[in-house]
Chain A
Amino acid sequence: MEHVGEITFHSIGSSTVWIVMGVYFAIIMLFGSYFGRYTRSTTDFFFGGRRFSWWLITMSIVATGVGSHSFVKYSAKGFEHGLSSTMTYINDWFFVPFFLFGWLPIIVYSKVRSIPEYFEKRFSPSSRFIATILLLVYMIGYIGIGFLTLGKAMIPLLPQSFAFFGANLPVTLMGVITVIAVVTGIYITFGGQTAVIFTDLLQGFILLFAGLLLFFFGITYLGGFQAFWDILPVSWRMPLADFNRPPDFNFAGIFWQDGIAGSIGFLFMNQGLLMRFMACKSVDEGRKAAAINILFVLPISAIVVGNAGWIGKAISIVSPDIVSPASSPDQIFVVVASIIMGSPILFGFIMAALTAALMSTVDTLINATAAIFVNDVYRPIKGFLSKKVTNKNATDRHELGIARIASMGITALGVLAVIPFNSFPTVYEAHGYFHSTLTPPLVVAIFLGVFWKKFTPAAVITTFLGGVALMLLGAQYPGVLIAPFDHGITLNPSHPYTYIRALYNLVVCAGVAVFSVWTGGLQHKFVKWVRRLPNTNMTMAMVTSLLSIIYTVIIISFFINFATMTLILVAIIFSILILPLVVNYYVVGYDPETHTKGLTASSIQDARRFFKGSEPNDVEGEKIKVQYKIVAGEDNEIRFSKADMQTMAAHPGDLVYLCDKRKWLGGLKSIHSVYGEPHDENGVVFINDELLKGGMFVKNRVLIAEKEL
């Protein structure tokens, strides 16, 4: 959608630019396909086999994080508001303690493969069902944002129309996005997580290099950093935006939308990112990857993604004839890159890096969404329909096929999700609205699930349904319900409270959650009383039907305005009172002790015990160098000499990590296994053929072994 008064661009790219981009993409796809051969099972396809080093995952996250936050949207805001476009990259540290020592060890040690699976283990199957729906909507929306950004980045390079066999075909945003989606879908379908990780590793380096190169050229173009700094007015040099002005870019709104909802959403419920951390060889390695990424890589990324906008702003001040101040913000990255890079080869390289980065985000998300589909939709349905036990390898092959088909379907849905987001003036606002609206219910549920043992299935389901109902009401009556939280931000009637609605949404979801937990005792008393009634089942069936009618009315009222706000609010409050009773009545078998063991921050030791299958061995040992010797056997054990076991402070049954000595491989050739009974050959590890294939170890190469747990 083009906006009134904006100058838009077409046909910026020459044929050289397209050739450079084509070559770049061919190299990236070949690189990914090469690592696709390391995909041997669904575990490898989705999680990369839990083997990689922190540095590899850190760089691989760059392409995902930078891509998702995108050159396009931060350059747009940099062009409109200056250096404060960086603030969303430098406000993620507040939730790091919760992530590193709460969520991360839980997802790794509890061996859950997806967030909904956590909900089933921690709460109930019905919680998993609702979480799956919400998460799929979130992930597909995220893919839609990625496609929209990609489309907006490509449009300036393309002509307004193509002549094809005499017909004049106009270049439309949706047409461009469809072509991009086909390319992305093909790549992800045949790659898998290991391919994605390695492609992203390469792209992470290229991306940082390309962004910094652009900054260097831009600064040189303007006559040096001091000159650039002096050109910018003081308000554009500030690292943080004005507290509550203007409505489309203000500090308070963005703090709650991005710093709070976005940061928790990104760290806690972005399945793509979580799968990267799950691909780390250990929890500590995942912590290192997250810490380095947020501390150092994100601030650098903030410069990388936003600088084209800042340079564009500076050029528009000194030479408005070269870059008009009225240029379309979403196109400014491409415009500035084409002006300052000079050579079409360099410009092609920059554009290739940009589009490849965006594709990285999209392909990671598609892969993650396919993981959720297989794990939380396909497997439960298949298990419900057929109890037949099948061979593990056959099941794995079959599920790999399903994952690939799911990837294609998800790609198509992602393209459709572009349509509503395209109504926003910039990608930044579309993304802001998306985060403010879709993350709060899941964020609150995950957060309280991990850190509050008293949080029950009744509370989590009420949070999902009651919270969403209050959010819908807030969206319908922002001037009444969201206004008390607005921090003085003016209501923009066409896009009311794009960012600060996150605060209202978080408050209502958390409020519903706390209320449900605090009234838990009363709920149980009520359910006990109901169970004593003569027509218990009939009574509860009627209450459930009434509840369904109320929720249907609430949803319809969102689309057709037929009831007053007060009436809908009363209906929602009534549903919040009734829903926990219904859940408590139907959800039986929830035991607060067993359902929280190893699944909350206060029971990490239980989680470690569960992960290992016995008591963890925390005695610090040393790493050792070994050569392998193949032995017969099918068990998942590897055997070291007594002396080597002593050096590693390991006992039979402990977990061991064995990898190729070459650090630059980042753990690609490695395995996790269990210590078997020791032998007497020092410096030699006995390993069977199956484990050797898993590790892809090379003959005569030195291996490093260390105790894991």
Chain B
Amino acid sequence: MPFSHAWLPYIYLYGVGGLLFTIGLVVTIKSGSLDLKRSGHKMWLAILIFGFIWFMVMHALWNLAALEILSLKASLLIWTIFMITSLGFVYFRFVKGARV
């Protein structure tokens, strides 16, 4: 598998995308719209960073399984654990702590 298919798209996606994401965080924090003095907004910052990692891990595991560096079962297992943890996180943030 050439590098142009194996890892270059992944590096480009999370390199350029990561740069844009970081600019987004900096701009919203600096402008005060993401106000880290408010507890709700602190949680939102955590969710935003978590989301970025969530996609990065998902794509990495998928790539590793596709390239047969990691077995399909191991990738799915890691992903399932990650998914359950995330859903638990969402449940406690959004359902239990839901407010207008």
Q: Interface residues, chain A, CB within 8 Å of chain B?
A: 54, 83, 90-91, 93-98, 100-102, 105, 225-226, 229, 234-235, 237-245, 251-252, 255, 259-260, 281-282, 284-285, 287-288, 291-292, 294-296, 299, 451, 600-602, 604-605, 618, 620, 623, 657, 706-708
Contact = CB atoms under 8 A, between A and B. Distances in A.
B59 A240 contact: yes
Nearest to A623: B99
Interface string B23-34: 011011001111
22 contacts: A83-B66, A90-B59, A91-B13, A97-B24, A97-B28, A101-B34, A102-B27, A105-B33, A234-B67, A235-B5, A238-B63, A240-B5, A240-B59, A243-B9, A252-B9, A255-B13, A284-B100, A295-B54, A601-B28, A602-B32, A604-B31, A605-B32
B58 A90 contact: yes
Contacts of A225: 72
A252 B51 contact: no
**Top-8 shortest CB links A-B:** A97-B24, A237-B66, A240-B9, A251-B9, A602-B31, A101-B28, A601-B31, A242-B5
B16 to A, nearest CB: 7
Contacts, number: 149
A98 B100 contact: no
B47 A238 contact: no
A237 B9 CA distance: 14
Contacts of B100: 281-282, 284-285, 657, 706-708
Contacts of B63: 238-240
Contacts of A295: 51, 54, 86, 90
B24 A602 contact: no
A260 B48 CA distance: 18
Secondary structure type dominating chain B contacts: helix
A95 B9 CA distance: 19
Interface residues of B, number: 48
Contact of B28 (A102, A252, A281, A288): A102
B2 to A, nearest CB: 8
A95 B24 contact: yes
Given A284-B40, A623-B99, A91 B90 contact: no
Main secondary structure of the interface of A (DSSP, over half): helix
A251 B12 contact: yes
Interface string B61-90: 011011110001000000000000011001
Contacts of B94: 54, 288, 292
A31 to B, nearest CB: 26
A130 B83 CA distance: 45
A238 B59 CA distance: 9
Contact of B17 (A259, A282, A294): A259
A243 B59 CA distance: 15
Given A240-B63, A604-B31, 14 more contacts: A83-B62, A102-B31, A234-B68, A238-B66, A241-B9, A252-B12, A255-B12, A255-B13, A287-B44, A295-B54, A296-B90, A451-B27, A601-B28, A618-B38
B1 A234 contact: yes
A624 to B, nearest CB: 13
Nearest to A659: B100
A427 to B, nearest CB: 23
